[in-house]
Structure 1
Amino acid sequence: MNEVMWLLLTYKVPAEPAARRMAVWRRLKGMGAVYLQNGVCVLPKTDDHIRRLKMLENEVAEAKGDSVILETVALDRAQEEKVVSRFKADRDEAYDEFIDKCDDFEREVAKEIAAKHYTYAELEENDVDLKKLQGWLAKIEKLDFYGGERAEEARMRLKGCEVVLDDYARRVFDAHDEDG
């Protein structure tokens, strides 16, 4: 078995103020951590994750909490797959949400085309929305440590949104005699 190394963090933060507990949870989810149960999560072992967990350990201590960081491996392949499948499920959930937003983006542009609403302001607004989608997908992919099943679909959907916006931009420019 080619062992996958993880960092296991166990922590406990006092219930009050709740904002501190929430900040720790947000930071860990933002790193892509998977919770095995309350206060116990894992991340793939990387230098960046070690550094960030050590910083988080200090924050937990400042909040009068307690934490322990361990390096670990799964007992066997079946246990390893359980953990990896949790990482994949979390990413696929994020990809699902992203794909839904791509649907919304394409519907919005189609609505503008149907209404023949070809304005620079609308084009700029849609361009901003596309840039948000591009940034969001990049964040999801950064946390996709084990290749979520919907990753390729999400990339293809983003490309579709880019094509839709390019078509809308051409229509706006044509409407204002600025094409070419």
Structure 2
Amino acid sequence: MVSLEWLLLTYKVPAEPARKRVSIWRKLKGMGAVYLQGGVCLLPKTDDHLRRLKMLENEIAEAEGEALLLATVGLDQKQQEKVVARFNADRDDEYKEFIEKCLAFEAEIAEETRVSHFTFAELEENEQELMKFRNWIEKIRKLDFYGAPRAGEAAERLQRSEAILDAYAHNVFAAQEENRPPDASKRP
């Protein structure tokens, strides 16, 4: 395995106001950082991450906190694998939540189908939900630096959800056509 490099950020900020501490935490999680412990996190070493962490370092200083930013590597293959496993575990947790939401989405469509609730409004609502899923999985993929094991399962679940919604859409269009009055010009 190629030696991987990471950016290590250690920081501490005053407990109050909490919003500043929470803002920093959210930004780090939004970048895909893994926390080794409170106030100590890692990101893969990229120019983008370095730039964003330097900006965050300034934000920490403005919040009257302290930060130290270092480049680091694992001492050996085993340490490197532990770090990659931490990143993959975080992404797998996100993929798991994504999969659960897709399953709930599919169950909702199954219930709508069971009760023959085939309306354009319901279809539009479900299409919007599916669009949220597509955006969500793309956000997770952008943070999946090392190919988390559940990535494939999540992609397959999204495809299944899309297929189920497509079948539901066909039912909606068929139901709407059934409710239209017959066209007088097409009568024998």
CA distance in 1, matches of 2:109, 2:2: 47
Shift of 1:120: 0.4
Partner in structure 2 of residue 7 of structure 1: 7
Matches within 5 A, 1:1-180: 2-177=2-177
CA offsets 1:145-167 (integer angstroms, 9 cap, x no match):
01111000000000000000100
Deviation at 1:31, TM superposition (A): 0.5
SS at match of 2:98: helix
Amino acid at match of 1:6: W
* TM-aligned CA deviation for residue 38 of structure 1: 0.9
TM-score, length-scaled by structure 2:
0.93
How big is the shift at 1:57? 0.6
Query: Is there any run of 5+ residues in structure 2 with no aligned partner, and where?
Result: 179-188
**Which deviations, in whole Å up to 9, do the C-alpha atoms of 1:40-59 show, x marking residues without a partner?**
10000111101110110111
Q: Deviations 1:71-115 (Å, cap 9, x if unpaired)?
A: 111111111111110000000011110000010000000011001
- Identity between Structure 1 and Structure 2 (%): 62
How many residues of Structure 1 are paired with residues of Structure 2 in the alignment?
Answer: 178
Deviation of 1:144 after TM superposition, in Å, equals 0.4
Gap regions ≥5 residues in structure 1: none
1:3 CA displacement: 1.0
Whichever residue aligns with residue 106 of structure 1, its letter is E
Give the TM-score normalised by the residue count of structure 1: 0.97
Residue aligned with 2:177, SS: coil
Distance (whole Å) between structure 2 residues aligned to residue 102 and residue 22 of structure 1? 29
Query: How far apart, in 1, do the equivalents of 2:173 and 2:45 lie?
Result: 50
> Could you tell me how far apart the structure 2 residues matched to 1:37 and 1:118 are?
50
Task: Classify the secondary structure of the residue corresponding to 1:11.
Answer: strand
Tell me the distance in 2 between the aligned counterparts of 1:124 and 1:48: 37
